[in-house]
Structure 1
Amino acid sequence: MIGVGRVAGEISDGQLGAGIGSSPGSTLIVLLSLVASLNLALFVFNLVPLMPLDGGQMVGAVWEGIKKGFARMTGRPDPGYVDVAKALPVAYAVSVALIVMSALLMYADIVRPVKLG
């Protein structure tokens, strides 16, 4: 986020606008495309199939559907719901790894900021 904020600041100041155009409309378009790309990256990252993210919930639902479909095809009784709470240790480990990685990247971004142009 720090690097994105710096890039957005440099775009709005006009430091990165040499090849883009000098009109305020083009600067607004570049800033909106920056926000849209950040939003899209967050959407894709959130679909990673690990438990603290939404992809982990989707994996549990897909696994439950596969189990129910297999039981229905073989004539077995309904196996019941999948307990996604059993994956909480994995969720805790992934959460700690994401927090440590975020802190490390923020520190690196403050110590040696991103320079474009």
Structure 2
Amino acid sequence: MTIAPAKLTDPAVRTFVTAINAGDRDAFLAVLTEDATMSDDGSDRELLPWIDREIFGPNGRIDVQTESSGGHALVANFTNETWGEMRTAWRFTVEHGRISRFETGQA
């Protein structure tokens, strides 16, 4: 059973997921702080090349299964045209309504 993005607890995380599913790179970037960082499977990555390669280039989609930590931790099925579907974990650091860091990896 999935959790609709509109039902996610944290507004910044809600915007993050909604932007991914809409393919809206501008809305995605707008919810991040200017100096946002991220990691994938425990390794820090360059944000812009990563999102273009993993999310927006291959039509990524995130279907949230569970949320915890006040909406700052998700388990989701992430799908893109490169890798297909995989179960992933997402953790967010939210400051002043924007995401300053997100970490993802296989769950």
TM-score interval for Structure 1 and Structure 2 normalised by the shorter chain: under 0.3
Which structure carries more strand by proportion?
A: 2
Larger radius of gyration: 1
- In the superposition, the TM-score normalised over structure 2's length comes to 0.20
- In the superposition, the TM-score normalised over structure 1's length comes to 0.19
Which structure carries more helix by proportion?
A: 1
